[in-house]
Chain A
Amino acid sequence: MLRLAYSFFRRDAAIAFSYRFAFFAQFTGNILLLGLLYYVGQMIGPQALPSLDRYGGNFLAFALVGVALTDTVMVSLISFGQQVREAQTTGTLEATLMSPVPLWVILIFSSLWNYFLSAFRFVLYLVVGALMYGLHLGQAHMGSVLIIFALTVLCFMGAGMAWAAIVLVIKRGEALMTLIVTAVLVLSGVIFPPSVLPGWLRSLGALIPLTDALDGMRIALLQGASPAELAGPIGRLTVFSIVFLLLGVIGFDQAVRIGRRNGSLTQY
């Protein structure tokens, strides 16, 4: 399996490097986004949002962690469906389906490169934030950071696979995904704390795992909280991960069966 994982990684890396301009341009965009957040933070000022006290009171640090982790979440949510759709439209899906490897494994492996890039961007955001905008990460609890990061990836990996199952069946789901992503970004508090939302929206936001992931990651990175102190978010993320992964694997398997039955697997 390791060899297969490496093959997918190497394939996607080779394809990505063959588009050199696009590859390097994406990082420039990421760094410019940090500049944008920095100046918004300057405008708001340190005391503008008391609800940020829980995270150290610094808007840039708050938003930067939000953007960095959301990048990984977006890869999980979108990448699987995108891979399926690309394989359908480029014609590689049929050849891929001839593999004796379970399809959900292929699906995960086909996003390894995207995960690698996302993890790289996560670190890049933090490093550039520290070097250029004075972000302090000295107190971060790395154990907690890794646990939250891994659970976030697993949880949204499941959600992404469920999404890929939907893409297999309905083919074009971009509009629906845009709607879902926007709602998730607003409710979970990527660049503003959920506490500023009206009560009923806050309740809705609490049902989204990204809310716990962001809260846990911010406290771990900016306040140095230990895993024990983050038992709540970690516990809820674990439950979300199990449910979503099961839902994703079973849903994708069912979608493939439906596609095989009605002959729509390679249609797009």
Chain B
Amino acid sequence: MMTAQNGSHSPRTQPTGEAVSVLVEGVSKRYGKIKQAGQSTGSDGGRMWALRDVSLSVRRGEMVGLLGPNGAGKTTLMKCIATLLEASAGRILVENVDVAREPRQARKHMGLVTCDERSFYWRLSARENLRFFGALYRVPRRDVDGRIEELLAALGLSGAAERPYHSFSTGMRQKMAIARGLLTDPRVVLYDEPTRSLDPVSTQRIREWIRESRAHHPEKTHILATNQLTEAEQLCDRVVIVNGGQIVVQGTVPEIRERFGEAGQSLHRLVCEGVVESELPRADPDAGVWEVSWERSGDGAAVIQLVADQRGEGLSLVLASILRQGGRVLRCETRQASFDEVFCRIIAKEQGAPEAATEVAS
């Protein structure tokens, strides 16, 4: 189990000095007896815990990514915030409105962007769909047409406004979901996997649109549940990694990379000649060398894969050993562990029994 890297930083829920837009305090979600193994993350006499004592605070204007493996509890947390699910314990405030006590009031502050492309009326045009949802979400009559026009233009759908929804591509449908989520000009936008099933070009366009939208409306708060770590890395100010229904890590991506043990490593690939494997240093985390592997390439050169500390001590040790042997480095490639790799290592470590959240951000 991971523990807080800095003892002075316990999991926080209330950042000081900045307005809190979404506050999740000690939220648990337990389902009744479920016979088959499924969506949930932990069982308790046949009862399944989807969330356990989750606390999270999102500042106004911040974009926070919810990450985690399938079944970790991301969507459950999003649904609890969106009033679609009732938490078993704890409380959630959205713009200071308790979502359990005043769900209808809370919904006025939120827009939900789902990844379900079926969630529109296929026989209606884009404009007819948005008009309908505008009325349903109580967008004032005098504003609704202008708002639809603005959103369609911003998302590049103006030319398709009168086309029936069924004729739209997956990317266009996802844009429609974004338009619907933003119809009320909400203070809090919840994105549930907004680029799932999209091709790379559409994915990139939607990410760019979200980024631009944030630049134009810095006061809006965004929560993004996604399985695409690159997306979280590109868009979010901070990420929260959920596993087993609990928050295991939260902080900025660089902080998480930096602060988490072997996750703060560099990966080196050295192509050398004149080197003997037995003379190379062994893995020794104290010396900054976590892993050393060796193989011969087709042309007889030695290929050394090295996982070492980012400060370069481990690499220096290996290079010194090569030079001491009279060997020669033909090529050296260095890269940082990708966030995907960092994430996988964090989750692999957590596969035991998660106990408490770790706060990275100071």
Residues of A within 8 A of B (CB): 3-4, 6-8, 10-11, 14-15, 18-19, 90-92, 94-102, 106, 257, 260-263, 265-266
Q: In the complex, A6→B144 CA distance in Å?
A: 15
Task: Evaluate contact between B119 and A99: CB separation under 8 angstroms.
Answer: no
Give complex CA distance A11, B123 in Å: 10
A19 and B86 alpha carbons, distance in the complex (Å): 38
Q: Which of B111-170 contact A (CB under 8 A)?
A: 111-112, 114, 116, 118-121, 123-124, 128, 131-133, 135-138, 141
A7 B31 Cβ-Cβ under 8 A: no
Closest residue on chain A to residue B186 by CB atoms = A98
**Contact indicator B108/A100 (Cβ below 8 Å):** yes
Give the contacting residue for A15; candidates B124, B136, B180; CB below 8 A: B124
Q: Which of B86, B107, B131, B132 contacts A257 (CB 8 A)?
A: B86
Instruction: For residue A109, give the distance in angstroms from its CB to the closest CB of chain B.
Output: 9
Cβ of A18 and Cβ of B123 under 8 Å apart? yes
9 residue pairs, one from A and one from B, having the closest CB atoms: A91-B118, A7-B135, A18-B123, A260-B86, A100-B104, A91-B119, A99-B136, A261-B86, A91-B116
Q: Inside 8 A of A98's CB, which chain B residues have their CB?
A: 82-84, 107, 110-112, 137
- Which residues of B lie under 8 Å from residue A3 when comparing CB positions? 135, 141
Pair B131/A100 contact, Cβ less than 8 Å: no
Q: Check if A90 sits within 8 Å of B118, measured CB to CB.
A: yes
Contact B107 A99 (CB under 8 A): yes
Residue of A nearest to B133 (CB): A95
B344 at the interface (CB under 8 A from A): no
Q: Which residues from B are CB-within-8-Å of A262?
A: 31-32
Dominant SS at the A interface? Answer: helix
- Nearest CB of A to B61, in Å: 22
Cross-chain pairs A/B with CB under 8 angstroms, 18 sampled:
A3-B135, A10-B128, A14-B123, A14-B124, A15-B123, A15-B124, A90-B118, A94-B84, A95-B119, A97-B84, A98-B107, A99-B136, A100-B105, A101-B136, A102-B104, A260-B83, A261-B88, A262-B32
B85: contacting residue among A4, A18, A260, CB under 8 A: A260
**Taking CB as reference atom, which chain B residue is nearest A103?**
B104
Q: Measured between C-beta atoms, what is the minimum distance from B121 to chain A in Å?
A: 6
- Bound complex: CA of A261 vs CA of B100, how far in Å? 11
Partner of A11, one of B105, B108, B124: B124
A-B Cβ contacts below 8 A, count: 88
Give residues of chain B (59-81) contacting chain A, Cβ–Cβ below 8 Å: 76, 79
B100 to chain A: closest residue by CB: A260
| A91–B111 alpha-carbon span in the complex (Å) | 17
Max chain B Cβ within 10 angstroms of own Cβ: one of A4, A92, A265: A92
In the complex, the answer to whether B118 meets A100 with C-beta atoms within 8 Å is: no
Q: Using known A-B contacts A98-B107, A106-B136, determine if residue A263 contacts B112 with beta carbons closer than 8 Å.
A: no
Chain B residues with CB under 8 Å of A94's CB are 84, 112, 114, 116, 119
Alpha-carbon separation in the docked complex, A6 to B123 (Å): 18
Distance A234 CA – B76 CA, assembled complex (angstroms): 49
Contact between chains at B118 and A99 (CB < 8 Å): no
Contact call A100/B138, Cβ cutoff below 8 A: yes
Residue of A nearest to B180 (CB): A95
Q: Shortest distance in angstroms between B191's beta carbon and chain A's nearest beta carbon?
A: 13
CB distance from A92 to the nearest CB of B (A): 5
Interchain CA distance A98-B84 in the complex, whole Å: 8
A6, A90, A91, A260: residue with the most chain B Cβ atoms closer than 10 Å: A260
Shortest Cβ gap from A169 to chain B (Å): 13
Bound Cα distance A121, B111 (Å)? 40
Looking at the complex, which one of B32, B84, B105, B120 makes contact with A265 (CB distance below 8 Å)?
A: B84
B232 to chain A, nearest CB (A): 23
- Inter-subunit contact B136/A4 (CB<8 Å): yes
Which chain A residue has the least Cβ–Cβ distance from B177?
Answer: A95
Bound: A98/B32 CA distance, A: 24
Q: How far is the CB of B173 from chain A (nearest CB, A)?
A: 11
**Residues of B with C-beta under 8 A to A11:** 121, 124, 128, 132
List chain B residues, Cβ under 8 A from A95: 112, 114, 119-120, 133, 180
In the bound assembly, the distance between CA atoms of A257 and B84 in angstroms comes to 10
Q: Are A15's CB and B121's CB within 8 A? A: yes
